[in-house]
Amino acid sequence: MSQDSEPHLEDDVQPSNNPPNSSVVEPNLDTSRLRSPSKGDSGKDAVASYAFDQNVAKKKLARMIIMHEYPLSMVEHEAFREFSTALQPAFKSVSRNTIKKEILQIYDVEKMKTISILAANNCRIALTTDLWTASSQRKGYMAVTSHFIDESWCLQSRILRFIYVPCPHTAETICEALHDCVMDWNLDRRLSALTVDNCSTNDKVIEFMLEKLNKNDLLLNGQLYHMRCYAHILNLIVKDGLAVIGDGIERIRDSVAYWVATPKRKERFVEAARQLNIEYKQMLVLDCKTRWNSTYIMLTVASKYKTVFSHLSARDRQYKSVPQEKDWELASKLEDNLRKFYEVTEMFSGTNYPTTNLFFLEVCEIRLSLSDWLTSESEVIRKMAENMIQKHEHYWGVLHGVMAVATILDPRYKLKLIGFYFDSLFGKPDSEFHIRRAFKLCHDLVDEYTLKFKVNEGSSTYGESASSSSSSRLVKSICRSKKQAERLSSFDAYVNETNPIFRSELDAYLDEKILPNTVDFDILTWLKANGNKMTLHASSTYNAG
């Protein structure tokens, strides 16, 4: 039998021991169509008519394998084939090659759906990318994910590519794979930003990408194109801080490693907790030294059972690394101080909700927390704070433009929140400089949007009604030359510069009172409901001038 063939397992027909009135279907009946009786006097709903379809069943099987990451070989397992035959004797078992083809067909269909969604969407697309190494094969793969807001003002994320990247993973190699993805998906003229981990190789990747792309198609000629992953920066900051403590928590780590080493020891630990009337809700977990958040979780869980560790030290002679009271005190301080970092990292790492307007407040709160650490009674915490502040200033000494714009466009914050935090962090003179910088950046983006999109689309910048007049339809029907479009763009800029009474939509928005700072505020829902109102407000202001 060839590898591509589809083996079919015939049913072994066994003598039936069921009584005459049994509902079991006899083997010689056509099982591809089963009709259940209609609703009887008992009042129970009957199963609707069912027509078996081999192709539909194969697709469902393929989707199950995709969703739960089952191995393709499972379709050739004897027990699985027996199970599927028992469910539906008419189902023809398939080989792993057949199910692989089915999965690739599903991929092609889903890819076309995503292409259609992206093509129909008028907004810019943000990309995130990272390299991932398969532990079994030691091969490097690149994941590229798109992020955008759809027409219903909902945040969307779509994986565009998961591709093998050959070694060595140089900036040129990574850039080539990334650029191919951008071009294949026709996104080169619609990109807003590319988010990457913070390392020298990725800095070079950004440089190479900017050389390959047309900067005129990017926001402010690419000024906002490079975004450093905030979660990765937090990781670097905390790792620098934890390097100070050295072996300060080593006994706790050794204790956890001892009691999770074997199933028998785990059972003894749980039993000891039960004897001490300590509820064992969370299992002990050993950290990975290169992942600070796992260290935080380890300390958080272990601290709940410090009495258990002490109790077991008197009952197990082999257990030598018993944490001392000073170890638990340090663990408690680390737990309290790192909680904010852990919560922010979790928030930044989400996929369905984290819009950029949430970041500025949390970044500033972290910086202020580090300042508080400098006054701690613990010398270790003070040294940690010094290291972490130095790293924080290296990355966040200057507010990234995207974060500033997103904060200003949050109606709860606007420029007020930036001024509020910058006064605390930098003092009045420096604070005013950063506020003016953020305000100018917002205006530059509004001006660029007006010039590049509104004029080139032949639509009025402000106050155009839903039903265009005959004259506006005529203007839209005229094919403009490239030079004419450029001149009209220059004219629009000329109007802005020579009309001192002009006030933009952004100015009108900033003049309004800020909204209450509620936790459950959804900025995308607010923008969807108020976008038109903001435009009309700006229109009336402009016309009155």
The tokens for 98 are 């057949």
Q: Are 131 and 169 in contact (CB under 8 A)?
A: yes
Residues 6+ apart with CB under 8 A from 11: 27, 85, 89
Tokens of 258: 């001892």
Give the pLDDT confidence of 172-188 residue by residue, as tens digits: 999 999 999 999 999 99
**Nearest one of 176, 324, 168, 338 to 244, comparing CA atoms:** 338
- CB-based contact 444:402 (threshold 8 Å): no
Alpha-carbon span 504 to 454, nearest angstrom: 14
> Do 358 and 291 form a contact (C-beta atoms < 8 A)?
no
- Pairing, β 125-133 against β 155-164: unpaired
How far apart CA 118 and CA 145 sit, in angstroms, is 12
Cis bond before residue 168 (omega within 30° of 0): yes
pLDDT of 56? 93
CA angle 434, 539, 435 (to 5 degrees): 5
d(CA 340, CA 361): 12
Spatial neighbors of 131 by CB under 8 A, at least 6 apart, are 140, 141, 142, 165, 169, 174
| Whether the Cβ atoms of residue 219 and residue 254 lie closer than 8 Å to each other | no
Q: 526-530 — which CB contacts under 8 Å span 24+ positions?
A: 526/411, 527/153, 527/409, 528/152, 528/153, 530/411
Contact by Cβ (8 Å): 170, 198 = no
Q: Which two tokens stand for residue 295?
A: 């260290």
Helices and strands per DSSP (H, E), number in the chain:
20, 7
Torsion of the alpha carbons at 163, 169, 172 and 174, rounded to the nearest 10: 30
Tell me which residue of 182, 6, 9 sits closest to 86, measured CA to CA: 9
Q: What is the DSSP letter of 454?
A: I
What pLDDT, on a 0 to 100 scale, did the predictor assign at position 447? 85
In which residue ranges of the chain is pLDDT below 70? 1-48, 135-137, 246, 350-353, 397-399, 453-504, 531-545
Three-state SS sequence of 232-250: HHHHHHHHHHHCCCCCCCH
Predicted local confidence at residue 367, as pLDDT: 86
List CB contacts of 184: < 8 A, sequence separation 6 or more. Answer: 161
Alpha-carbon dihedral of residues 440, 441, 444, 446, nearest 10 degrees?
-110
Report helix, strand and coil shares of the chain as percent, to nearest 5.
Answer: 55, 10, 35
For position 183, what pLDDT does the model report?
92
Q: How many CB atoms lie within 10 A of CB 463?
A: 12
Q: Tell me, what's the pLDDT at 454?
A: 55
Question: Given this model, what pLDDT does residue 477 score?
Answer: 35
Q: How far apart are CA 65 and CA 75, in angstroms?
A: 10
CATH of domain 121-228: 3.30.420
479, 420 Cβ separation under 8 angstroms? no
Domain boundaries in the chain? 54-105, 121-228, 240-338, 350-454+481-489+502-542
**Model pTM?**
0.68
pLDDT at 98: 94
357: closest CA among 296, 321, 293, 404? 404
Check residue 459 and give its pLDDT: 42
Query: Is-contact 145 128, C-beta < 8 A?
Result: yes
Partners of residue 163 on adjacent β-strands: 142
**Alpha-carbon distances of 462 from 86, 97, 502, 511, 534, rounded to whole Å:** 66, 58, 12, 18, 10
153: left (phi over 0), alpha (psi -120 to 50) or beta: left
